[in-house]
Amino acid sequence: MKFGILIQDGPYNHEAADSAYNFIQAALERGHSIQGIFFYNDGVINATKLMDPPKDDRNISKRWSELGAKGIDIIVCVAAAKRRGINESVLIPNARISGLGQLTEIAIESDRLITFGSS
Amino acid sequence: MEEQKKTKIMFVMRKPPHGSIYAYEGLEAILIMGAYEQEVSVVFIDDGVFALKKEQDTKPLGVKEFSKTFAALEDYDITNIYADRESLEIRGLTVDDLIIKPKLLEASEIAKIMEEQHTLLPF
């Protein structure tokens, strides 16, 4: 199955970014594909490379970047990012900033769009 | 060329308009997706119905007043706009209190429409 992923909450404060990551890993292990990961609302904060947690904790933005390196399309909403101080200069490698049209395309192309962190 | 089948996308607006950015950024997403010629619909449930309340004054909050933008949804060809009848009722609201006139539905009817969707987007 082709999954699209929408992440609407930031890292660490809540579990959404971790749940999404775990979901994606499980889906890939079972042979499913990920059409794209779209960050919206506070979710855009997942994509800053300035993240520098203590060594014994997971680095959430690095994990996204690693998924991007595997060829998964990682898209950060430009309007939501601008509000929150995320631009190209702080963006993690293997991600891109684009518009909500990309979320529309992910929704259309995926068999299922799974959302994380809207409540 | 065969006409491409439109994708059914429903925005589920459950949060109050102020106190978090979800309703506002949800609205921004609705307006943009409306331009992609898909079958976009919107349903207001729970505190989400407050987003449509007439005469909102956000000056004391110091945030943008965006409720009137919902009135522009029809200009973006988004005409399938629903609200949960019971959510309005238990909040003491009627359609006359709202800036637009959504179609009022029972929860069971909303569930049926949700089942027909390809994508649900919660805000």
**Per-residue pLDDT tens for B9-52?**
999 999 999 999 999 999 999 999 999 999 999 999 999 999 99
Beta strands across the sheet bearing B8-13? B103-105, B80-84, B39-44, B8-13, B119-122
Distances (CA, A) of B21 to A49, A74, A119, B10, B13: 24, 22, 12, 19, 12
Q: How confident is the model at residue B3 (pLDDT cuts 50, 70, 90)?
A: low
Contact yes or no for B22 and A118 at CB 8 A: yes
What's the pLDDT at B4? 73
Q: Residue ranges of the domains in chain B?
A: 8-122
Token readout for A6 is 């929408």
Residues of A in contact with B32 (CB under 8 A): 99-101, 104
pLDDT at A73 over 90: yes
What's the pLDDT at A93? 98
- What interface predicted TM-score (ipTM) does this complex get? 0.94
Mean pLDDT throughout B102-114? 98
CATH of the domain at A90: 3.40.1260.10
CATH class label, B8-122: alpha beta
Contact yes or no for B25 and A104 at CB 8 A: no
Token readout for B17 is 């308009």
Mean pLDDT throughout A11-16? 97
What's the pLDDT at B86? 98
Q: How confident is the model at residue B96 (pLDDT cuts 50, 70, 90)?
A: very high
What's the pLDDT at B76? 86
Nearest by CB to B22, from A41, A99, A108: name it: A41
pLDDT at B90 over 80: yes
A119 vs B95, higher pLDDT? B95
Alpha-carbon gap, residue A11 to B109, rounded angstroms: 36
What's the pLDDT at A17? 98
Contact yes or no for B123 and A101 at CB 8 A: no
pLDDT at B1 over 70: no
Nearest CA to CA, how far is B98 from chain A (Å)?
24
What's the pLDDT at B74? 86
Q: How confident is the model at residue B100 (pLDDT cuts 50, 70, 90)?
A: very high
Domain hosting A50: range is: 2-116
Residue A77 a catalytic site member: yes
DSSP tally for chain B: helices H, then strands E: 4, 5
Any CB–CB contact under 8 A between B14 and chain A? yes
Any CB–CB contact under 8 A between B101 and chain A? no
Q: Which of A44, A60, A77, A81 is catalytic?
A: A77
Smallest CA-to-CA distance from B81 within B30, B16, B33 is with B30
Nearest CA to CA, how far is A61 from chain B (Å)?
22
pTM over 0.90: yes
**Structural domains counted in chain A:** 1
pLDDT at B2 over 70: no
Q: How confident is the model at residue B97 (pLDDT cuts 50, 70, 90)?
A: very high
